Amino acid sequence: MKKFLALALSLVMAVSLAACGTSPSTPAASGSGSAGSAGSAAASGSGDQLITVGFAQVGHESDWRTASTKSVQEAFSKDNGFDLQFVDCDNDSAAQLEAVRNFIEQDVDYIVIDPIVSTGWDTVLTEADDAGIPVIVIDRTIDDSDKYISWVGSEFTNEGLAAGAWLKDYAALKGISELNILVIEGTTGSSAQIGRTNGFKKLADENGWKIIDSQSGDFTQEGGQKVMESYCKSYAGQFNVVVCQNDNEAFGAEDAMSAAGISYGVDGDVILISFDACTAGLTDVLAGKINADFQCNPLQGPFCADIVAKLAAGDTVNKETYMEEPWYVAEDALTEITYTNNAGNEVTEPLVHVTQDVVDAAY
Ligand code: AHR
């Protein structure tokens, strides 16, 4: 019965993925090979009707997170054959481990985790494995355990590398020879923070840019504003680039710079770089407040539900699935960037000039 339902689910998810218009890419270098099937766990779950899925979400810190939650909740709807149990872990790693343990206790059919931080997972994933409950990871990565079936998310290091590659070309275009940079990082220990920091730092080191300071704003607007207020006091007149690791931090940084009388963006003294490219972020790119915004794609729900449906049907799934993520810019002078990506390949990727149509199509 459950297998029959899962086959039907696979069809439903295939249709919704086709309709979604964004397909994940699975680069050969990423080790995306098949990761096995759910086997008996999928066949022996509770109930005959709906597949029960526990989702331990990071929290509600950003516009990106809101879009992520909506994407997962819509994909794992009752109409699609799922009973989703959603836990907002409020950016608290201990609460997230407890949520996963509760899902194991409840004997859900599948567990989906968006890990707040990338380490500290092996014990609880072993417990899930022992209980025969397959775990799917989305968005951020787990770096200290491979006891999960599949992951779908972003190549955060490439996001940082792309931001650095764009800054290099943009500075050359504008004749800016010296870059003095302030970074507002995301949640410390999250793979999004680690990847973006490392990727951008690689370009900074290669090009001799000075990173004056780099502190966490915890991926929130309030955090971004606080860090930027303190930067404005400590480094007034010393910086010409601010890198915020998500849009909400950028909004906070904008407020802090405006209050301090510092101009930023296309016509300003400070180049402002952001990540996520949510609707409000791209609105600021269109307005020239943010110079460049590197997308992190939150619409992972349909891909994750497709993975669960395939596992429930006994099919094999990829170990890794990467979301497609464009890079957005305020000015049309540069149309592409070339850089060596995290897999060691030289790639040339387009820069999307933001227009109202681009904003209207954003998440
Ligand atoms: O893990 C994705 C990151 O988490 C997004 O960049 C950020 O907005 C969110 O909080």
Q: For 115, what's the count of Cα atoms within 13 Å in the CB-facing half-sphere?
A: 28
Instruction: Give the 3-state secondary structure of residue 188.
Output: coil
Q: What is the distance between the alpha carbons of residues 128 and 130, in angstroms, rounded to a whole number?
A: 5
Residue showing tokens 């400590």: 234
140 lines ligand 1 (CB under 6 A): yes
pLDDT at site 49: 87
Compute, in angstroms, the gap from residue 129 CA to the centroid of ligand 1: 27
Per-residue model confidence as pLDDT tens digits over 20-71: 333 333 332 233 545 544 333 333 344 468 999 999 999 999 999 999 999 9
State the distance from the centre of ligand 1 to the C-alpha of 219, rounded, in angstroms. Answer: 6
4-153+298-323 — its CATH code? Answer: 3.40.50.2300
Q: How many CB atoms lie within 10 A of CB 4?
A: 10
Whole-number Cα distances in Å, 356 to 277, 283, 319: 14, 8, 37
- Does ligand 1 come within 6 angstroms of the Cβ of 68? no
Supply the pLDDT for residue 217. 98
**How far, in Å, from the CA of 244 to the mean position of ligand 1?**
11
Query: 308: which 2 tokens?
Result: 């669960």
Q: Which among 69, 113, 139 is the best mutation to test ligand 1's pocket, defined by most ligand atoms within 8 Å of the CB?
A: 139
- Helix orientation angle between 301-312 and 2-20, rounded to the nearest 10 degrees: 150
- With residue 230 as reference, give the H or E element that holds it: helix 221-234
The pLDDT of residue 39 is 35
What distance in angstroms lies between residue 313's CA and the mean position of ligand 1's atoms?
Answer: 31
Judge contact between 71 and 100, C-beta under 8 A: no
Q: How far is the centre of ligand 1, averaged over its atoms, from the C-alpha of 246 (Å)? A: 6
Residues 53/112, Cβ–Cβ less than 8 Å: yes
pTM of the model: 0.90
Using DSSP's 3-state secondary structure scheme, residue 25 falls into strand
Residues across the chain: 363
Determine the Cα–Cα distance for residues 61 and 245; give it in Å rounded to an integer. Answer: 13
Q: Which amino acid is at 3?
A: K
Same topology, domains 4-153+298-323 and 156-296+332-360? Answer is yes
Percent of the chain residues topping a pLDDT of 70: 87
Burial class (CB in 10 A: 0-12, 13-18, 19+), 249: buried
What is the crossing angle of helices 247-259 and 221-234, to 10°?
40
Q: Kindly state if the Cβ of 103 falls inside 6 Å of ligand 1.
A: no
pLDDT in tens, 294-334: 999 999 999 999 999 999 999 999 999 999 999 999 999 99
Work out the average pLDDT over 71-88.
98
Check residue 247 and give its pLDDT.
98
> How many angstroms separate the alpha carbon of residue 222 from the centre of ligand 1?
15
pLDDT at 169 over 70: yes
Report whether residue 276 contacts ligand 1, using a CB cutoff of 6 Å: yes
Furthest-apart CA atoms within the chain: distance in Å: 68
State the pLDDT at residue 42.
Answer: 36
Q: What is 156-296+332-360's CATH topology?
A: Rossmann fold (3.40.50)
Minimum mean pLDDT among 12-16, 120-124, 238-242: which range? 12-16
SS (H, E, C) 103-124: HHHHCCCEEEECCCCCCCCHHH
Number of Cβ within a 10 Å radius of residue 238: 12
Q: Domain boundaries in the chain? A: 4-153+298-323, 156-296+332-360
Q: Which residue's alpha carbon is at the smallest distance from atom 2 of ligand 1?
A: 192
**pLDDT tens figures, 238-247:** 999 999 999 9
Whole-number average pLDDT of the chain = 90
CB 185 less than 6 A from any atom of ligand 1 = no
Asked whether 156 lines ligand 1 (CB < 6 A), one says no
Instruction: State whether the beta carbon of 196 lies less than 6 angstroms from ligand 1.
Output: no
CB neighbours of residue 7 within 10 Å: 15
CA distance 58 to 70: 13
For residue 214, the one-letter residue type is S
139 lines ligand 1 (CB under 6 A): yes
- Cα of 65 from ligand 1 centre, angstroms: 6
CA 15 to chain centre: 24
pLDDT score at 233: 98
Nearest Cα neighbor of 91 from 244, 291, 248, 243 is: 248
User: Which residue's structure tokens are 């680690």?
Assistant: 194
**Does 289 contact ligand 1 (Cβ within 6 A)?**
no
Burial pattern 168-188, b for ≥16 Cβ within 10 A else e, equals: bbbbeeeeeeebebbbbbbbe
Separation of CA 157 and ligand 1 centre (Å): 13
* DSSP letter string, 53-98: EEEEE--S-SHHHHHHHHHHHHHT-TTTTEEEEEEE-TT-HHHHHH
Atom of ligand 1 nearest to the CA of 247: 8
pLDDT at 35: 52
Q: Which atom of ligand 1 is nearest to the CA of 192?
A: 1
Residue with tokens 């920091």: 197
